[in-house]
Every structure is written in C-alpha cells, then in structure tokens.
Structure 1
Amino acid sequence: MPPSYALYIDGRRDRFGDRRRSRMDASDRLPARQARHPLQRMCNPHCPANDPPRRTSVPAARLSKRRLARRMSSVKAGFGAQLRAVRRSGSNPWTAGVFPRETILTSSKKARLVIVGASYAGTHLAAAAREQGFDGPIVLIGDEPHAPYQRPPLSKGLLTGKTGMGQLALRSPDFYTEQCIDLRVGQRATALDLAARRVRLADGESLEYDWLALATGARCRPLPVPGAELQGVHQLRTLEDALAVQRRLGRCSSACVVGGGFIGLEVAAALISAGTRVTVVESQTRLLARAFPAFMSDYVAQAHRQRGVSLELGRSVRALIGRQGSVEAVQFDDGRMMDCDLVVAGIGVLPNAELADAAGIACNDGILVDALGRTSVRNVLAVGDVANMAQPTFPGSPARMRFESIQAASDGARAAASVLVGRPQPLSAVPWFWSEQHDLRFQMAGLPASDDQVVLRGAPASDRFTVFYLRDDAVAAAHSVNRPSEHVLARKLIAQRSRISAAMLADPTADLKSLIDVGQVN
C-alpha cells in the first residue's frame, strides 16, 4: 500500500480526495485557470520552484474527484520519477529542488523529529539529519529570542569589538527555509510526555514527535557569595551576557575575573586588551588544574602575567561589596579588599538536564547516552553539552564524560543523525578543543592521564611548542601552543594509536608526518 500523502496549505492539512470544502468570499475567488493546485506546479517546467502559486488556499477537494484522480496520477508519476532520479544520483531531495518551496509534501508515515534546544549541537543535528537523507519534518525549538549563533566569540572577539553581531549566525536565514526546518525561537519546552511522544511548550502548545533530540546545553554555575546580585556582576554564557559585559566594559577601569579556567582566562585576555586592569582569582593553586599538568599551568600563568594580568592563586572570593546597588570591591577569603567595578564569574557550568530527569530519562551529571547519542528511552537522543557520553578511550581514561566543546557537539550531532536514517555510525573521532588567549592559541587533543609520559617538542620560551602524552608507548593526548600543523598531526597519531619513541617525538627535526605516510610509526 503506497503511503498516504498530505498537502499542507496555509497551515491546514488536506488529504487528496476529501470532499471537504471551504467557503470563500467572492473577492477571494479566482478564474478556474488561475486556481491551480500547487501539485500541478511540481512537474510543470514553466513554473519555477521558487515562483509562488497564485492560489495556495484552494483546497484539494475543490477539484472534482475524477479530475483530481487524473491530475494526481500524472503528478505522482512525474514526481516519483524525479525523486528516484535524484536519489540514484546520491543527492538529497531537500536540497536538489525536488520539493518546491511553496509546498511541503510529506508522507504521513515519515518520522517527525523535534529538537529541543537551538544550540550549536541542536542546529548541527538538524543539518546533519538532512545531509544524511532524513526527509521527515524537523522542528527546532530555542528558548532564546535569537536564531542559533556561535558561542566561542562571546568570550573573545565580541567583547573587544573585533567580531560583529553579523558574524555570529550559525546559518543564514535562508538555510532553515531551504532545508524545511521549522525554527521556533523564543519558545521553551516545559515537559515531556514520553508515553504519548509529545513535547509541551510554555505557551501551552503540545508537539507530537517520532524522534526527540535534547540539545538543551548547560548554564553557568552561580557565584555563591554575598553581593552576587549587584549590578556589574556578570556571567558569560549567552549573547545577552556578552553584550552586558561589553556595555559595562565601556565605563569600568578595573575588573575581577573569578575562575581560572578556559572561559575566565579568555575573558581576562579580552578585557586586558581593551585597556582594563584585570585580576584573576582562582581557588586552586594553579590555573587550568583539571586540564593541564603542573608545568603547563605554570607556563599559562607566566604568559598572562607577562601580558599584564594579575593572578590571585589559591584564593577565593568571600563577598562582593557594593554601593548604590553597583559592585565596587571584592573581599578575598583572607580579608583583603580589592577595588573593581566589573566582576565576571567563570566557575564552571551545570547541564540543563532537568527536563529529561523529570520525564524519567536516565541522568547523572547530564543525560546518559551511548556513543550514538541514544538515551535510556527509545527514540530519544541527546547531544551537546548536556550529553554525558560513553567515550572510546585508552585504558585509564574516563569511561564517559561531558566533553564541552564545539567539536564534540558537531561529532555527536553527526552520530545521532546516523541513528535517524537507520545507518548508525558511532562517534569515534578524537576529542579536541581550542582556546585563544592574548596572542596564544592553545589546541588540545585526546584525554591525558596523570601517569602519562610527558614529551616536550619545542621551546616554551618561544611560545611555539607541543606537549605529547604517551601511554603504553602510544600517543594518547597532545597540547599545542601556536603549532596548528602539529595539532592536526597529533590527532592522527592518537586516532591510529600509533606507537612512537619519546626521543623521536622530542626531536624538532624529525618529520612526524612523513613517518606516518611511509608507515614508519610502529
């Protein structure tokens, strides 16, 4: 039995052959030759796909049953031949012009994908699903009022003005229309009904789904000190956060960054370049303690001090002091006071897993997923910062983790999309990450462990070097500073689990790429 087709006209669904009729005012009527059904245009070479029909509100039932049958036979035959030809060529019918823009034609048996979270991961999942051949309806829901945008520039170029608002968009506005993705911004999902396969929105609407993907991301961990509510105290996660810091930056002279992680150090570098005095407060005795070994932390600290950033290591903030509702000083845990009129807190994030947890989906520091993004509930996926994913690892690495990076979001989206089209391809890419601070570009690949053998290639004093981490004589991870080509090479070595001597890695004259090419890595 062929699938039953439905035509969506002006938001109303009409099955071909229905006897339903709609009343029209006399002013709405057109001559019969102008009241052409949109399906007639699909196989008419004289009607371009991007030329809207003159009447799209004429219901299918307005045609006589016999005439409709004749037209449908001709149209479906021509449309089917066109669709088969496109699929034989390996192209995607959504991007090859098979479906005209004024008409959305779907099979009633096509699976509907609802993505909660118009984040980087959510947007890439929608795009990857189309690229891999998913031809069902896609709804992308975002609770922010903006179309999906890039987050990395928020702590870098946007603060300094080097990156404009127009450069933040993840996709052009036409992308969502051309790919038939129903983008809904400014809408928040409030509940999931897994039994009925529905998503409830804050405005009361309920969306039915066949596949559900959760890309709800993460939120900043709040600063738990008195005075955190004062004006001039900010976090940095969303576009509104970045714009608020940017506005405050124009009238402040001294800033305090709480947290010596990647976001905090990127913000410190941006603020110092804008001419503001900056102090970074870190409760650990060294910077980036969770990501870097001690000697790399020392290098980062020295680099920031040389560029004018003051560091308070092993210290925490006891309170924020304000006057007339605005922050004017920071009190440290040892009682010392420091004047400042801007505070930016970067003390980590919390996954937005409450929606999934309330629905009964397995969660633990995020939504638990396998290497394909599948959750504990059938037909429910999770991608991005909210996903606690099982990792392909070396012995000694964590079995699963939330890897908060653009690359992990993109790779996870592609893996989840492969599930949607029935060709599962587990995530196998080496996790990597980058951070720009001052004139330094840090690139990290793999997951180092505390007992790895550390091999230095290059001189840290030159601000151009790579640190390799060997585990069982194989490259397990690498950290590069201003060495992008070695970073790419390191990812290949990690993926191949190539065995190589420490002496060869440390020798700056050894051409590691040529060794891989000729098979000399053993």
Structure 2
Amino acid sequence: MTQDQSKPTGPDFFRGISLSDLPDGGKLVGHYGDEQVLLVRRGTEVFATAATCTHYGGPLVEGLLVGDTVRCPWHHACFDLRTGEALHAPAFNPLACWSVEQRDDRIFVGQKRKWTAPKPRDGSSGQIPGKIVIVGGGAAGFAAVETLRREQYQGSIVMISDDQAAPVDRPNLSKDYLAGKAPEDWIPLRGEKFYLKNNIDLRLNTKVAHIDLHSREVILADEGRIPYDRLLLATGAEPVRLTIPGADQSHVRTLRSFADCKAIIERAAKARSAIVLGASFIGLEVAAALRARDIEVHVVAPDKRPMERVLGSQMGDFIRALHEEHGVVFHLEDTASSIDGRKMKLSSGDTLATDFVVAGIGVRPRTGLAEKAGLSLDRGVVVDAFLETSEPGIFAAGDIARWPDPHSGENIRVEHWVVAERQGQTAARNMLGHREKFAAVPFFWSQHYDVSINYVGHAGQWDEIAVDGDIAAKDCLLHFKRAGRTLAVASIFRDIESLQAEVEMEGQIAN
C-alpha cells in the first residue's frame, strides 16, 4: 500500500539539476539525502515537496497539477505546493517541504523547511462558538475535529461515539487489513495522543438518547447532559441486518466496525469456506480479501450482475469475471432463506455449506436522533449548501446528510468515505462561521485484487454509458451520461484522466 522509501532514486537535488530538465508545468522525482523529493515548476517558481501522498503513499509525480496544488492519482487527496498543507481529504497530514534556490540556470534543493501551521482564515461571520459537540466517531466526525483544531479553534470540543474504538480507516477494513496485508497500526486515523494533545474530549462507548433543542444540550443515555453552541450530527450508517431464520447465530457477521473486522478475521483463521451475502462494493471487497486468505468464497445476491446498479452492465460483467478468475463462485438472482448451523438454504432451493457468513446487504443512515429532535428529513437529514440542518446551529455530514449537489442539480445522499471526510471539513469551517458551500465532487474507490476502480461524480440514473478504452483489458474510462451531460466517470488504471474529470466537474460547479 505504501511505497518503499529505503532506496532513494533519481537525481540528487542537493547537487542540483539544470532548469531545462524541468519545463514549466513539469514534475520530477529525485532525492535530497535519503528522502525522495518531488520538484514541480509553475512558471518561474519551483517547489520541492515529499514525493508521496501522506494518505496511502500514492506517487505524486503521477498526479495532477491544478494551480499551486498537486492531487494524488490514487484517492484524489490535494496538497498546497507552497506549504505542503493537505487541503482535501482523504489526506490529513501535510507534505514535507524543502527550500529551493535557482542559480545560473540550475535548481538546487536546500534544507527541509520547518512545518508551520496555517494562519486562521479570515471571513468568519458571527460569534465564535465556545462549545462544539460532534456526535459520531466515523469519517465525518474525525475530519471535523481535525479541521477545527487545524483552524486553531480554541474552544471546547466533545466527540461522542458509541463505538468502542477511536476513529479508524474504515475502507481498509474490507480491503488490505481484512486480507491480512496491512498491520493493525495502520487502522486508527490518529493515535490516542492526538486527542490528548489537541484537547479533544473523545467519549467512546457512549450513547446519545436525544438532543434538547431548547436548552441546546445533548442528552446521553446515562442521563448526562453536554451543552453545545454548535452541534454536528455525523452518526453515519448501520448495516442492514438479516431477518431470516438462523441469522442470529454467532458465525453470521456484518462488517462495519473495527471489532466486526477482527471478529471476521478470527473466524477466517479457522475456516475453509465462507458465504458473502450481497454483490455490492463491500460484499465483493470482502470476497476478494477472503480469497487472499485462501478461503473458498460463495457470493449470493439477488442482482443479475454485480454492481450493475452503480456501474452498469459491462462493468458488472467484468467484475464478475474478475472475481471468478480468482475462484469466487456466484449464486446470482438468488437469496438466502435460512441458515441452519453450517448450512444455508437459498430461495432457489439450493443448499450451501459454509464455516461462516458475512452479510453485506446494504446499510441505512442512522437518522433516529435527527428525527427525534424534529429536524427535516428526506431519506436522510436535509441540509443546505452549508451543511446546516433545519435547526440553526446544528449541522449534519456524512452518510446521513442529503445536500443540494451543485453538479447534478439534485439533492443527493451518498455513502462514500471521502465525501464524508470532506463534508466534515466543510461543516467544521461553517461551525466557525465561514459560510463555505459544500461543492466537492463526490469520489470513491473500490479495490478488487490488483484492480482499483475510481469513480467521480454522481449518477443516480443515466441513459448512456460511453466507454473509452477496453474494460476487459483493465484500461478504461466510462462516462455516465443523462441527456448528453456527463454526471459521473468511472475508471480503471486511468488515474490522471479520473483527476481531470474531477477538475472539469468542479469547473462546471464554479460556473
């Protein structure tokens, strides 16, 4: 997942390179001492930063330059070339930066610059809140508390989570960590010291009973009360539970939390076979991860093709073939009707034997608190362009939020990790009074063996899929169109074009 940085390659930037070796708009990887460095030229200026993304180590030399920023080709994080600051999730850590000097048509890299936190931005309106409460310990909640402190907010932050673990890198739970390819210390988004150092009152295993709008307090299940001036609801989603006979047995699992993932890994250590219910992104990522552990995997799903609803029939056929090449057995247009010990009966009448079951049959937004508080709902919590709910001072972000998407012109709700993080960042700034519209283009990625599918935009419905390249050859770009307008783009190994599509969509938003 991360690249080996033990052997620096490329030119020695301490000794310098010719200015002609770095044309305007060019990128070049070399090293300064033992560290890989990326040089970028923008007009007469040259910037030197770390060469890899601080998220998963993506090679920034293969990324896209947009103004004075560079975007990672893997998961679309964005960094300021001048300061190294991580501007857009999924990266939070800044890039290291080096000083650069130009002498006699040569470029020399000097000492690494000391990181300095960015100055608080201007333009906040209203009074800075004294107490901010975040309900939820997932992507949006973490991004919000990180952004609040990065914006140098000095007030009280209480983060309430009913999970037993501090915020974790959830995408990894169905990918490399589940496959046994990532160590456990990669999973927490931040260690315990982060919350202590930043004076974030993180309360785990804590349930919220309701929100008192009149007194502006969060009421806990143990009857404790936490006052707020601004409140962010980031309660996320929960797995849809099986309701068939036998679904309550201990070897029938779902995957959402760190604890869920550990329980599946524990089962997998002693198992020969598994059944995955659902041919969605999570279900098939679980299937791929279990195949990496040499477990026989059967996938049962009502769909005619995997992921057809989101990616269309051609990509669905490709994904099925890819998994079948790796030994997955599909039982499509079928569902589980009962589980009796190690045997699962299907609605078709077939019976499958298995050591354990993972149900990936979807999730539903956790909107109960918002509903009980009387906030406006519409298949999610309704928010405005600033992610504020129908109640002033209460914001919502992540899987529960339905927001006015300026690209599609529709009110949408999506369950994407990067979207949740970026909404958490925007909500944090708006709780501080910055009035920043959420206009990020939705993005997600899904990993299947050695194939990563990137998706930008949002196409709930389309009337045409224009394919550029060859899907079977794992070299393609798919444009999902409605009435001739591209609403979303999916890609396999077309990273730079995926980034370009994102920027083009952003331009359409701006206009």
TM over 0.5: yes
Conserved in 1, the CA contact under 8 Å of 2:305 and 2:317?
A: yes
User: Is 2:318 the counterpart of 1:299?
Assistant: yes
Counterparts of 1:120 and 1:135, CA distance in 2: 22
Question: 1:458 is paired with a residue of what secondary structure?
Answer: strand
Pick from 157, 174, 177 the counterpart of residue 158 of structure 1: 177
Conserved in 2, the CA contact under 8 Å of 1:433 and 1:443?
A: yes
- The corresponding residue for 1:383 is 397
- The corresponding residue for 1:437 is 448
User: Is 2:184 the counterpart of 1:184?
Assistant: no
1:90, distance to aligned residue in structure 2 (A): 6.0
Cα deviation, 1:480-515, whole Å, max 9, x if unaligned, reads: 1122222112212222249xxxxxxxxxxxxxxxxx
Conserved in 1, the CA contact under 8 Å of 2:308 and 2:315?
A: no
Conserved in 2, the CA contact under 8 Å of 1:475 and 1:493?
A: no
User: Is 2:317 the counterpart of 1:333?
Assistant: no
Specify the structure having the higher radius of gyration (Cα): 1
- The corresponding residue for 2:433 is 422
User: Is 2:222 the counterpart of 1:222?
Assistant: no
Alignment of 1:494-505 (within 5 A): 494-497=505-508
Distance 1:385 1:151, change over 3 A: same
1:470, distance to aligned residue in structure 2 (A): 4.1
User: Is 2:440 the counterpart of 1:393?
Assistant: no
Pick from 368, 378, 382 the counterpart of residue 368 of structure 1: 382
Distance 1:294 1:90, change over 3 A: closer
Counterparts of 1:497 and 1:363, CA distance in 2: 28
Conserved in 2, the CA contact under 8 Å of 1:436 and 1:442?
A: yes
* Higher mean C-alpha deviation, range 108-117 or range 283-292: 108-117
Conserved in 2, the CA contact under 8 Å of 1:218 and 1:349?
A: yes
- The corresponding residue for 1:195 is 214
1:278, distance to aligned residue in structure 2 (A): 0.7
Counterparts of 1:168 and 1:394, CA distance in 2: 34
Counterparts of 1:133 and 1:337, CA distance in 2: 59
- The corresponding residue for 2:79 is none
- The corresponding residue for 1:126 is 145
Cα deviation, 1:355-378, whole Å, max 9, x if unaligned, reads: 121121122322111222111111
Counterparts of 1:371 and 1:362, CA distance in 2: 15
Pick from 94, 112, 119 the counterpart of residue 91 of structure 1: 119
Distance 1:449 1:238, change over 3 A: closer
Cα deviation, 1:213-267, whole Å, max 9, x if unaligned, reads: 1111111001121110112110000111111110111111111110010000000
Query: Aligned residue pairs: how many?
Result: 388
Pick from 170, 175, 180 the counterpart of residue 194 of structure 2: 175
Counterparts of 1:128 and 1:147, CA distance in 2: 17
- The corresponding residue for 1:319 is 338
Q: Which amino acid aligns with 1:393?
A: H
Q: Which amino acid aligns with 2:383?
A: V
- The corresponding residue for 1:287 is 306
Distance 1:368 1:482, change over 3 A: same
- The corresponding residue for 2:134 is 115
Structure with a larger share of its residues in helix: 1
1:112, distance to aligned residue in structure 2 (A): 0.6
Q: Structure 2: which 5+ residue stretches go unaligned?
A: 1-116, 122-126
1:133, distance to aligned residue in structure 2 (A): 4.2
- The corresponding residue for 2:467 is 456
- The corresponding residue for 2:415 is 404
Counterparts of 2:298 and 2:370, CA distance in 1: 38
Counterparts of 2:403 and 2:340, CA distance in 1: 41
Conserved in 1, the CA contact under 8 Å of 2:233 and 2:396?
A: yes
* Higher mean C-alpha deviation, range 305-314 or range 384-393: 384-393
Question: 1:371 is paired with a residue of what secondary structure?
Answer: coil
Counterparts of 1:414 and 1:407, CA distance in 2: 11
Distance 1:449 1:205, change over 3 A: closer
- The corresponding residue for 1:274 is 293
Counterparts of 2:311 and 2:272, CA distance in 1: 31
Distance 1:334 1:132, change over 3 A: same
1:179, distance to aligned residue in structure 2 (A): 2.3
Question: 1:293 is paired with a residue of what secondary structure?
Answer: helix
Distance 1:337 1:472, change over 3 A: closer
Pick from 370, 374, 377 the counterpart of residue 356 of structure 1: 370
- The corresponding residue for 2:499 is 488
1:206, distance to aligned residue in structure 2 (A): 0.7
Q: Which amino acid aligns with 1:425?
A: E
TM-score (norm 2): 0.72
Q: Which amino acid aligns with 1:469?
A: F
- The corresponding residue for 1:233 is 252
Counterparts of 1:109 and 1:255, CA distance in 2: 52
Distance 1:475 1:494, change over 3 A: farther
Distance 1:109 1:123, change over 3 A: closer
1:110, distance to aligned residue in structure 2 (A): 4.7
Counterparts of 1:109 and 1:245, CA distance in 2: 45
Distance 1:216 1:285, change over 3 A: same
Distance 1:91 1:256, change over 3 A: same
Conserved in 2, the CA contact under 8 Å of 1:411 and 1:429?
A: yes
- The corresponding residue for 2:478 is 467
Counterparts of 1:408 and 1:159, CA distance in 2: 23
Counterparts of 2:390 and 2:408, CA distance in 1: 25
Q: Which amino acid aligns with 1:461?
A: A
1:471, distance to aligned residue in structure 2 (A): 4.6
Counterparts of 2:214 and 2:405, CA distance in 1: 30
Counterparts of 1:360 and 1:473, CA distance in 2: 40
Conserved in 2, the CA contact under 8 Å of 1:289 and 1:297?
A: yes
1:444, distance to aligned residue in structure 2 (A): 0.6
1:354, distance to aligned residue in structure 2 (A): 0.8
